[in-house]
Structure 1
Amino acid sequence: MSKSPKLILKLTGAAALAPIAVLFQVSPPIFLTPWFMRLDFVAVPWIVCWMLFGFKASLLCMAVTAPLIGVLGPFAGGWVGALMKISASIWMIVIPALFALKTKTAFNLIKNKRLFILSSLTAILTRDLATVFLNLYFAIPVFFGMSSTQVLEFFTNPRFQSFISHFLGLTWFTAYFIEVVFWNTVQS
């Protein structure tokens, strides 16, 4: 296949998967955390796009979808929500894509179970660390108009804790850290 048909295939793949991500966005969330983080499948088409059409196509799919997921559907979150969806999900594409360079394709990465598990765990850990930092210093403060200290107090309030913090009796940074890591790992 020459370069032009490959490019057309990648563009078509990104264009075909972008509306699916938007459909997932306008669907009711699978679960909503007490601090309004939405668990959903919005990033799945982006990841599928990477697997089928490559890294650049998945970035294009993400870029086309991002403005729409920020404003459409319940609990969209505006530009902060769109930016956080990308900031959290990009690692689920970038890290496996870097590992796939070793195996030449995404399909070869998936076949190599050890490398696939290692890339997935690395992606999840990176996502967790990024979201802990971004939620504390950017997303929650901007979205709710709070300082970082108020965010930590917010997570100490039992009304905004999930079963995990209640069960473990967590407060302050520990509650915040465990909640964000747990729910972002589940979302991964």
Structure 2
Amino acid sequence: MTAPIDFYFDFSSPYGYFGSCRIEALAAKYDREVVWRPILLGAVFKLTGGQPLPTIPLKSDYAHRDILRCARYYGIPFRIPSRFPVATQAPARAIYWVWDRDPPRAKALAAALLRAYFVDDRDISSPEVTAETAATVGIEREALLAALQEPAVKERLRTETDAAIARGVFGSPFFIVDDEPFWGADRMDQLEHWLKTGGW
């Protein structure tokens, strides 16, 4: 069986959102599965000294322009949320809880949460908004709200973020296929070439 593509992303990353809109179709062309792995970029930034682009002087104006330009280039619905960035513990925990029960539904939830934030301007840092979004893809709202407070679910997200860092993940989106890392939505053409040729 061909190894899956590991797709790491933060729910507050516009570029992660752009990657999420394209990765499943790309993987399907080459008979690959995709494992969606939300992480907390805040934990990564503590190690790298990084910070969200919108908060960096000089870079922030370019980032704003580039994000909007990328959305137009890819033809992806998008608007910059009124609260940006936001904490992403609630949606990330939700994905891992659902993934252990129903991976396809977890992917549907991840896509719905990203759309809720980057298209509908809903504050997905709120557990209530996360649960309401989950209900739209057939997940029981109250069960999810309870799960978000479980110590094991909180620990799962910490463990997954630590494991991502151990693999060298430092941004969003970040793809690993056949142990080869690709960082950024703008590297997906190279990712496709890798899948097509088996590497170079």
Asked if TM exceeds 0.5, the reply is: no
TM-score (norm 2): 0.25
**TM-score normalised by L of structure 1:** 0.26
Relative to its length, the structure with more helix (as a share) is: 1
Greater C-alpha Rg: 1
Greater percentage in strand:
2
Higher relative contact order structure (alpha carbons within 8 Å, sequence separation ≥ 6): 2
